[in-house]
Chain A
Amino acid sequence: MLKTLKRVFSYAAPYMRYFVMTLAFAALGVSLSLAVPVFIGEAVDCCIGKGNVDFHKLGIIIVLLASMVIASTLFQWLMILCTNKLSFLTIRDLRSDIFCKLERVPLRYIDGHTKGELTSRVINDIEIISDGLLQGFTQFFSGIITIIGTLIFMMVINFRIAIVVVILTPLSFIAASKITKASHDSYMKQSRLRGEMVGLAEEMAGNQKIVKAFVYDKRAEARFDEINAAYGKIGAKATFFSSMTNPTTRFVNGLIYAAVGLLGALGVVGKFPIIGAMTVGKLSSFLAYSNQYTKPFNEISGVFAELQNAVASAERVFAVLDENEVPDDSDKDVLESCDGTLSFSDVFFSYSPDTKLIENFSLDVKSGQRVAIVGPTGCGKSTIINLLLRFYDIDSGKIELSGKDINRITRDSLRSCFGMVLQETWVFTGTVAENIAYGAPDATREQIIEAAKSVYAHGFIKRLPNGYDTVISEDCGLSQGQKQLICIARIMLMDPPMLILDEATSSIDLRTELRIQRAFAKLMEGRTSFVIAHRLSTIKNSDIILVMKHGNIIEQGDHEQLLAKGGFYAELYNSQFAS
């Protein structure tokens, strides 16, 4: 825990001046506000009785009091300002560090965690660190100053009564912590039930059509009612306990207050020398202190809970920051030119050591050949792509592009040899022309139009309201198929020597699908291509077919060879004829 705290504060180090200022303002503000009761006491002592009011002294005290009140408020405001500045700057650094880190960790790490989990680390955990650690620290600090300050003042006014207060305060503490524990359990249950309730409401409201179609509405209502009733019950219990805290501590505090009052009064009367001399004014300031003294204790215990929370969050954030990065490879060779040949030799790969996937895989692809990857749903066709682009590194063996080991060249130069069109298309907010020129920013308008024409995208782009200058974005205006055509044009313009294509075209209307197929064919002319193939025509015309099943490459060869072999491919192929 200490190590984590240290690390968080190392992030705050560049902003030390804000930290120092925070502490200074906290000390000033708190001690000034603590001095107020003393002066109130003095003031009260100036008003002894009829005709016996020292107006001169009272006037001075009043002015002093007023300026102290204003000053302490000012300091407290400055303190908050500094804390916010400090936490904002620190958190900004931490957040940008973790964001950059996420861009640099291997995909293996990202794939192993859900999107929500990672987002929550960047957003929520960091928020909790900001609230808990930094703001909590200031609260903690001003609490401590208050306690020490009040103690000192009380001691100065009357040492003996102060001792009584110190001895009695743990009482209110014990009472509060007993009750807090009981209410804490109920609150935990409550927040779990709340999670369930939100989850259910979200699922049912979000899928209303299915709920209706399956006549599930009554059952959904029943489930909701059940959770809702439990939630109400536990909520009432939690509130009961927590509402007990305040009256109980107040009761105990009241007892202390009464004890102080009694002892003090006896002191004022002066008949019990043990207690020491008191005036009415001193008694009233003492009472004020004994009140203030107990308050920070509750605050500090709250701060501790938050602190623990924050440390847990900080640990999660640092866990990400300590994750191994994709090693920097700028010292490796840059692949200058690529002749389109590719070879796998004795490649072994698996995502996790206990499930073997690709074993002893060898393949030679000559320039301009077409490799089709086929297999049933979920057979792991994307593994090949992950290896080719080095999103994952192979366990042993060698992959050579253009005669060079892909582990020996920079990732950037490797990836720039490949053009990829996947089923999930990606367009960004910008004009159609900008989208097409994404991989080749220097392209002229003529080149862009040429590329669009060659992949049959010119026709629909021309019909858009502003032609090539129409602004498009991921979720507006274009159909899935049109977006895919734009992506194909983008690759056409980049003119890479190697291609990776995914033929799957579900939920695209047939005319567009036809156009996409023609565009793919055009794109593949003269390029070495890997195609995740769904159409038999594509497969039949491929030079090499890789048949995958359960993540493994089980057969390899051209159409005739595989059919003759009578294996899984032949079975797959024949099943098409049966209809």
Chain B
Amino acid sequence: MVMNLGIVAVIWFGGKRVDVGRLTQGELTAFTNYMTQILLALVVLANLIVIFTKAFASANRISEVFSLLPEENGTVCEIKDEKKAIIEFSSVSFAYAGAGDYSLRNISFSVMGGQMLGIIGGTGCGKSTLANLIPCFYRATEGAVNVFGVNVNDIDNEQLRRRIGIVPQKATLFTGTIRENMRWRKSDATDDEIISALKTAQAWDFVSNSPDGLDTVISQGGKNLSGGQKQRISIARALVGSPDIVILDDSTSALDYKTDLAFRRALSEDLPDTTVVMISQRTTSLKNADKIIVMDEGEAVGIGTHEELVRNCDVYNEIYRSQMNEKGGSTDA
């Protein structure tokens, strides 16, 4: 409208000019045409300003991401394979950034190569936090975490994590085939390595039974698999290429007792040299552990073998008794 009214004005004033002889009719026609072009350009300009404002806001958001600090990294790349303490916590305390209270308080223990460490306790007691310190996802606030005899803060993150297989609590699989998912830890893993990991995780049965086998496509984060199947694949994924340490963060919750038991047996038989850190809510899963840490509100209230803990740890006893009674006499026999 503004554009058209502009033209109207041009004709009126142009007419006056033509009358005085300062303008010819042709020039007037040209004038109205120019007018249209100028006004069109103005409309484009107005749009541009809107676009620029939006772009500016987006650019700010992007630069916020760029200004984040990258993960801290260590420099030690050589890790000697020594068989003494593979994981060692000395008076470790930890608080999340911004949190007032400590999530872990003064925890010390050590695990030898090839041993199995169990961690047990209620929800929110710091089990997962403790396990997160081993691959150096977080750095201890106080005290030192040594893995492979070196302080984890000094080890190159990539070198450290290549040696650790992690099975998170929530089994997340990625879009792609099962084979592709299994190659996450080791990008050049052979089918044999993959199958042996799947076998250990008790997943080979159903994978080999599905028509496409390893080429089965996992869609939408694994909607086409049951919870137990996803969990077993997620376990197998961490076992490919026999890592030095495997961390299982309550990763067998969706497995029935029989499968859970078969998996634990296979784990100790197939990967005898691997150090296992197993977080669990079930005492039965941890019974064979070389060492069990009982966590309660960020503190280690008991460390020892199953037998030792039954004898002298109240919290462990409470858990154990309750499960023994309710889970139906699995220890009666």
Listed in ascending order, the chain A residues whose CB lies under 8 Å from chain B are 33, 36, 40, 43-44, 46-53, 55, 58-59, 62, 65-66, 69-70, 72-73, 114, 116, 199, 203, 207, 209-210, 212-216, 219, 280, 284, 376-378, 479-480, 506-511, 513-514, 517, 534-540, 572, 575-579
Contact = CB atoms under 8 A, between A and B. Distances in A.
A207 B169 CA distance: 12
- Which of B15, B23, B258 has the most A CB atoms < 10 Å from its CB? B15
Interface residues of B, number: 75
A535 B32 contact: no
Given A212-B137, A214-B166, A280 B261 contact: no
Contacts of B162: 215
Contact of A219 (B164, B187, B237): B187
B259 A577 contact: no
B14 to A, nearest CB: 7
Contacts of A114: 220, 223
Contacts of B4: 33, 36, 65, 69
Interface centre among A59, A209, A540 (most CB of B within 10 A): A209
Contact of A53 (B7, B18, B157): B18
Interface stretch (B109-117, B145-153, B192-200, B318-326): B318-326
Contacts of B333: 577
Nearest to A74: B1
A280 B25 contact: yes
Contacts of A535: 326-328
A504 to B, nearest CB: 9
Contacts of A536: 327-330
B90 interface: no
Given A58-B11, A576-B258, A579-B287, 20 more contacts: A40-B32, A43-B15, A44-B29, A47-B18, A47-B28, A55-B19, A58-B12, A62-B8, A62-B11, A69-B8, A203-B174, A203-B221, A213-B164, A214-B184, A378-B226, A517-B326, A536-B327, A537-B327, A575-B261, A577-B333
Interface string B1-27: 100110110011011101111011110
A378 B229 contact: yes
A404 B184 CA distance: 56
24 contacts: A47-B14, A50-B20, A50-B21, A58-B11, A62-B8, A62-B12, A66-B5, A210-B166, A212-B71, A212-B157, A215-B161, A377-B256, A506-B253, A507-B123, A507-B253, A509-B121, A509-B123, A510-B122, A510-B322, A536-B327, A537-B325, A539-B328, A576-B328, A578-B261
Contacts of A219: 187
A378 B135 CA distance: 33
Contacts of B121: 509
Contacts of B253: 506-507
B203 to A, nearest CB: 12
A210 B19 CA distance: 81
A4 to B, nearest CB: 29
A62 B6 CA distance: 11
A12 B125 CA distance: 60
Nearest to A41: B29
B25 A537 contact: no
Given A215-B162, A378-B229, A509-B123, A210 B172 contact: yes
A510 B319 contact: yes
Contacts of A70: 1, 5
Interface of B: 1, 4-5, 7-8, 11-12, 14-16, 18-21, 23-26, 28-29, 32, 71, 121-125, 135, 137, 157-158, 161-162, 164, 166, 168-169, 172, 174-175, 184-185, 187, 220-221, 223, 226-229, 237-238, 250, 253-259, 261, 281, 284, 287, 318-319, 322-323, 325-330, 333
Do most interface residues of chain A lie in helix, strand or loop, or is the interface mixed? helix
- Scoring A377, A538, A540 by chain B CB atoms within 10 A of each residue's CB, the highest score goes to A377
Contacts of B226: 377-378
Nearest to B16: A53
Listed from nearest, the 9 A-B pairs whose CB atoms lie closest are A536-B328, A50-B21, A509-B122, A377-B228, A53-B19, A506-B253, A378-B226, A537-B328, A47-B18
A70 B174 CA distance: 59
A508 B253 CA distance: 11
A207 B161 contact: no
A70 B175 CA distance: 57
Contacts of B323: 510
A102 B323 CA distance: 43
Contact of A280 (B26, B237, B257): B26
Contact of A44 (B28, B166, B258): B28
Given A65-B8, A66-B5, A377-B226, A510 B15 contact: no
Contacts of A215: 158, 161-162, 185
A66 to B, nearest CB: 5
Contacts of A376: 256, 258-259
Nearest to A510: B319
A199 B168 CA distance: 21
A49 B25 contact: yes
B250 A507 contact: yes
A73 B1 contact: yes
